[in-house]
């Protein structure tokens, strides 16, 4: 694609480096910004730069935070005895949105992936072990809420091994099974198989 | 959706004001930028701001340009007697990409749309008429290449009326019909009907 202006070409080039945005979408976004008030572009550019340069991570759980301790870690009303281990900040947002969990979090910052060159040392695993084992730790349960991909399972397995020698800490995983509203016939064999093996007895009414 | 950081919330808010980008996509883009080098965000923000604040439009054809006269208007090898009228800069890029047109352009900056409050005076119609009628104008044909929507047709009709009193200038429209590779049975009735009425005789071989 040839552009009538280097300025547009640069903007389209930068926008199309974002995931899921191709040249055509990037051009549409650039032309939208050109049609809108200059303020729109100014505040977008400022919000992005400010976010990237001023973002902090919680010292304890490594979640995104504007302060050294994030709002979840600072909240004394939450259950300090349970830690939910997730790979990504997005997972924290997703679980918080369910309003079903009142404990703490620990964000690994990814999953173990030899292909991408990500080993245990690149994640916040040491920080998790320190949290769990340190003097006076209240943590009694570690929930592994990691996506059931190959890399995710490897990471969960690695963590279970590291945590199994701590007798006072239970390790659990989020439930696997047929999603709500999911059709049995469309579920993959492994999910369906596991959902039968790990069936749950209903309470008598 | 609740965000753990105001900085992210702002960035997601700004990104999701872009067309076709919802909250979830905006969050994915923001987290991508957070994972990437700070340079990525810095150069994106700079390219957007630079584009918006430094963009110029060609004085003659109103196409985007880094100089007062765009590369197309400045190119003396192009056919100065033909002007292709389009609503948008994107249309110029699209037509240039076909490499089938060697004439000049005129970018209206939109189409007449009473619902959106866009009248003829909001477009570059006066500038087009001035170009066509001014002393020593070489323009002999005006091609209306405006999308066949209701607003587009209104705009084309308005332009034809304005141009019809100039005996030395022909007005034409881009051909309508079944697109290349298009299946007849899926074409809408109006397109199919017009493509029969406006059929083109083949040369004898």
**Smallest Cβ distance to B93: which of A1, A70, A89?**
A1
Residue B195: predicted pLDDT: 79
Residue B1 domain flag: no
Residue B85 domain flag: yes
Q: Do A33 and B44 touch (CB under 8 A)?
A: no
Residue B61 domain flag: yes
Asked whether residue A35 falls in the same domain as residue A62, the answer is: no
Asked whether residue A42 falls in the same domain as residue A72, the answer is: no
Distance (Å) from the alpha carbon of A156 to chain B's nearest alpha carbon? 22
- Nearest-angstrom CA–CA distance, A158 and B26: 32
Asked whether residue B37 falls in the same domain as residue B114, the answer is: no
Q: Please determine, for residue B149, whether its predicted confidence score (pLDDT) is greater than 90.
A: no
> What is the token pair recorded at B46?
């700079």
Q: Do B5 and A66 touch (CB under 8 A)?
A: yes
Q: Which residue has the higher pLDDT, A104 or B186?
A: A104
Helix, strand, coil share (%) of chain B residues, nearest 5:
45, 15, 40
Angle at A95 between CA A93 and CA A96, to 5 degrees: 65
Asked whether residue A67 falls in the same domain as residue A14, the answer is: no
Residue A199 domain flag: no
- Nearest-angstrom CA–CA distance, A109 and B35: 9
**Confidence at A105, pLDDT banded by 50, 70, 90:** very high
Average confidence (pLDDT) over B82-96: 91
Stretch among A7-21, A166-180, B63-77 having the lowest mean pLDDT: A166-180
According to DSSP, the residues that pair with B118 across neighbouring strands are: B113
* ipTM for the complex shown: 0.77
Q: Do A19 and B13 touch (CB under 8 A)?
A: no
The CB-side HSE value for B122 (13 A sphere, CA atoms) comes to: 12
**Confidence at B126, pLDDT banded by 50, 70, 90:** very high
Q: Identify the three-state secondary structure at position A19.
A: coil
Distance (Å) from the alpha carbon of A188 to chain B's nearest alpha carbon? 26
Asked whether residue B67 falls in the same domain as residue B138, the answer is: yes
- Nearest-angstrom CA–CA distance, B17 and A45: 13
- Looking at the structure of chain A, the number of domains it has is 2
Asked whether residue B71 falls in the same domain as residue B133, the answer is: yes
**Smallest Cβ distance to B4: which of A6, A47, A63?**
A63
Contacts of B52 in chain A (CB under 8 A): 33-34, 38, 41-42
Distance (Å) from the alpha carbon of B73 to chain A's nearest alpha carbon? 11
- Nearest-angstrom CA–CA distance, A90 and B53: 34
Asked whether residue B61 falls in the same domain as residue B159, the answer is: yes
Asked whether residue B48 falls in the same domain as residue B70, the answer is: no
Residue A188 domain flag: no
Q: Which residue of A has its CA nearest to B98?
A: A1
By residue range, what is the domain housing residue B169? 57-173
CB A158 within 8 A of CB A110: no
Domain's final residue, options A14, A29, A54: A54
Q: What confidence tens digit (pLDDT) does each residue in B10-44 have?
A: 999 999 999 999 998 999 999 899 988 999 999 99
Residue A194 domain flag: no
Q: Which residue of A has its CA nearest to B51?
A: A7
Please name the residue ranges forming H helices in B16-67. Answer: 23-35, 38-54
**Smallest Cβ distance to A48: which of B11, B53, B88?**
B11
Asked whether residue A91 falls in the same domain as residue A22, the answer is: no
- Nearest-angstrom CA–CA distance, B175 and B167: 22
> What is the token pair recorded at B1?
């959706």
According to DSSP, the residues that pair with A113 across neighbouring strands are: A118
Residue A203 domain flag: no
**CATH code of residue B102:** 3.40.1360.10
- Nearest-angstrom CA–CA distance, A174 and A147: 10
Asked whether residue B139 falls in the same domain as residue B196, the answer is: no
Of the candidates B139, B150, B149, which has an alpha carbon nearest to the alpha carbon of residue B106?
B139
Distance (Å) from the alpha carbon of B190 to chain A's nearest alpha carbon? 29
Asked whether residue B151 falls in the same domain as residue B122, the answer is: yes
Asked whether residue A20 falls in the same domain as residue A84, the answer is: no
Please report, for residues A23, A41, A134, A191, B180, the alpha-carbon distance to residue B50 in angstroms, rounded to integers and kept in the order given: 19, 10, 51, 51, 39
In the sheet that holds B170-173, the strands lie side by side as B103-107, B79-86, B141-144, B170-173
> What are φ and ψ of residue A103, in 5° steps?
-90, -160
Residue B109 domain flag: yes
CB B107 within 8 A of CB B92: yes
**CATH code of residue A10:** 1.10.8.420
The CB-side HSE value for B167 (13 A sphere, CA atoms) comes to: 0
Integer-rounded Cα Rg, in Å, for chain B is 22
């Amino acid at each position: 694609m040839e552009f009538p202006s280097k300025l547009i070409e640069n903007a389209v080039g930068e926008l199309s480096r974002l995931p899921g945005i191709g040249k055509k979408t990037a051009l549409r976004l650039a032309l939208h910004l050109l049609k809108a008030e200059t303020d729109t572009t100014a505040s977008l550019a400022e919000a992005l730069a400010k976010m990237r340069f001023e973002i902090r991570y919680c010292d304890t759980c490594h979640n995104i935070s504007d302060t050294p301790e994030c709002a979840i870690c600072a909240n004394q009303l939450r259950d300090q005895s349970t830690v939910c281990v997730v790979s990504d900040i997005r997972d924290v947002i997703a679980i918080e949105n369910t309003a079903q969990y009142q404990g703490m979090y620990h964000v690994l910052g990814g999953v173990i992936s030899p292909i991408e060159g990500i080993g245990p040392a690149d994640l916040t695993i040491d920080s998790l072990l320190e949290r769990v084992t340190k003097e006076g730790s209240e943590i009694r349960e570690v929930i592994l809420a990691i996506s059931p991909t190959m890399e995710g399972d490897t990471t969960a397995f690695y963590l279970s091994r590291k945590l199994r020698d701590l007798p006072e800490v239970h390790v659990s995983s989020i439930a696997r099974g047929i999603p709500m509203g999911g059709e049995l016939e469309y579920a993959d064999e492994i999910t369906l198989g596991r959902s039968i093996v790990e069936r749950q007895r209903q309470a008598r009414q």
